[in-house]
Structure 1
Amino acid sequence: MIQKALYFMPDISGFTNFVNHTEVEHSIHIISELLEILLDIATEDFELVEIEGDALFLFATKIPDYKRLINQTTQMLEKFHEHTKSYETKRICNCGSCRTTTNLELKFLVHYGALNFIKVKHIKKPYGREVITIHRLLKNKIPINEYLLLTENAYNLYHNSLNQTWTKSSETYDLKKLDYFYKNFGYVKETINHKIDLKKNNKDYTSPFLKFKHVFEANIDEVYKYVSELKYRHLWDKEAKRIEFDENKLNRIGTQHNCVLNIGNLNFETISSYDRNQLAYGETTEDLMLTRHFSYLIKLEKETETSTKVITELYAELTTVGSFMKSNFTRMMKKSWENKLNNLQNVCEK
């Protein structure tokens, strides 16, 4: 008896074309996070065959009923859009891929048919006509962006449970006509009532105890890249032996990383501030000696296409001992940050 399977493909679309390395790199991280979210839900019923760019290709031999299929599809859409909306409130980057994350959309393709495998060395995966069928339908002329598509085989499998909300259509590939049915799922995105999930920060960022002003002969986006991307931190913060962070995640408000010093560690959390005329990046920690709380903000203002005003502000709530040593603490921080900013300027201008 021929084994049958339900083939399932969630496919992400909606990114604009990227024009520089930063946008491509950030888009990879964003897509990766979204695919992980979808995979966590999908693997309850389906087995992953492979990740195909912005899509997942999965299959199941234990066929879920129609209600479970719809519930899973809806749940994936909800979690997908909750994440993109949450990302919009927490992002610190203004590149094209980060700005357009909320424009991302998700569609689903489902096919039912024979399950055959091909094995090459230790790799075994579904193979044959049924696999080709679902992949061909990724390119279709459906006039909406978020939908569930059932091939004719999948439609016949579930036809007793379907209602009048399904639309029939067809495509022609290599002179062969493929009939399918689709259902609009665009309403799911509109029902997401996202609550901003940001940690409340009641700290006063209006009266810094130290403030530095520089003009870097570098483009504002280049300066911001070196300031905000943790993988570049070692280039200008020479006090850190290393920076420990998740390289597969984009830095955003609330992201934490560990700064390993010669003596001890500092755990930092990313913060920011909003001004339409500035790009701003900062971090906060409760681990700095002599303070209950320490934060910094680096604010960038565009001077010209090739020059940037850099305003650095340091904030601290001192402990009792720190208050007695305030002048020494201030002198120490002034020297430390003058070195950091000189290094940053050299990196950006070179």
Structure 2
Amino acid sequence: MVPELSVVIPMYNEEEVLPLLVERLRPLLEGMGTTYEVVAVDDGSKDLTAALLQRYHREWPQLRVVRLRANAGHQAAISAGLASALGDYVVTLDADLQDPPEIIPQMLAAAKTDGVDVVYGVRNDRSSDTWFKRASAQAFYRLIGLMSQTSAHADAGDYRLMSRATVDAVNSLPEHNRVLRFIVPALNFPSDTVEYKRDQRAAGDSKYPLMKMVKLSLDSLTGFSTAPLRLATFAGFGGALVAVLLVLYTLISRSQGHTVAGWTSTVAIVAAVGAVQLVCVGILGEYIGRMYAHMQGRPTYFIAYDSMTAEAGERGPTDTPLPAHPHPENLQTDTVRAGLDRAPAQPQSARLHEAESTQLRG
């Protein structure tokens, strides 16, 4: 049977916090009185996260382990979990326990009662974050809102509940380098919010240093708005206007017999124009890079192991089959787009044997 609820949790080197997560999450889900699965996506961890997940999987049948072949990033790991999840409702939750799993029942109740497709977890108290992180997040979300006209909440991260229709819509999108905290609001599906207090990280270190935050910001800006391109155009027009004014000033000064200002002002003007040109070229490069990556069509992740399909292979064809995909018509598309490699290639000897058998029967 297809579970009613799926909880997708991306993980990267979370051996310290994983026991605390299981200790809080399992009794919560079992007390909800609904069928569920937990899809733990191991994003190429280098510590004991993979071994701990296998141990907890043996003790907790509803825990499903999906392991990526290499580290693909936080957003790609969430996308892998969404492509693998089977539930009618899907919750995405980070493993660090800064976003408390105890509000999942409230999210599910809001989705059912209000008939909405998305329920966002909104942080009403971010005192656990540094001043710099709060200020930069507010400024960034305002900038994104002005440039792209999206309705993403400034205090809503990747903690959300989505209906099956929303998950299928996200999985059907062809773009790479997804930033889900902006993609989901851009779909404009009916939504609601649930507020909570953001806690300190339960254990371990943050997996989002400054450089990753900068990369996420660039992906968000170039993925949801063409305003930077227009800004480059306006800067070009502004530079051209300044150049025309300078030419006029030079001609008038020469006609009146005045000498042109010294080389200091000339160097300053040339440096300013060069800086504007470099900024414009950099902006164009960001967009061209995204176009190039999209034309290559390379999957953002590859799944190396899925405990559900692995156990199905051990049971054999006569045992209970796997749960059906909630929307079979999207299964092939999701699999190709996500780069899932669940079906290993048939050995060449087996293919030759099968071809010879076909010829003999003919």
* TM-score interval, normalised by the smaller of the two chains: under 0.3
Higher RCO structure (Cα 8 Å, ≥6 apart): 2
Instruction: Considering fraction of residues, name the structure with more strand.
Output: 1
**TM-score (norm. length: structure 2):** 0.26
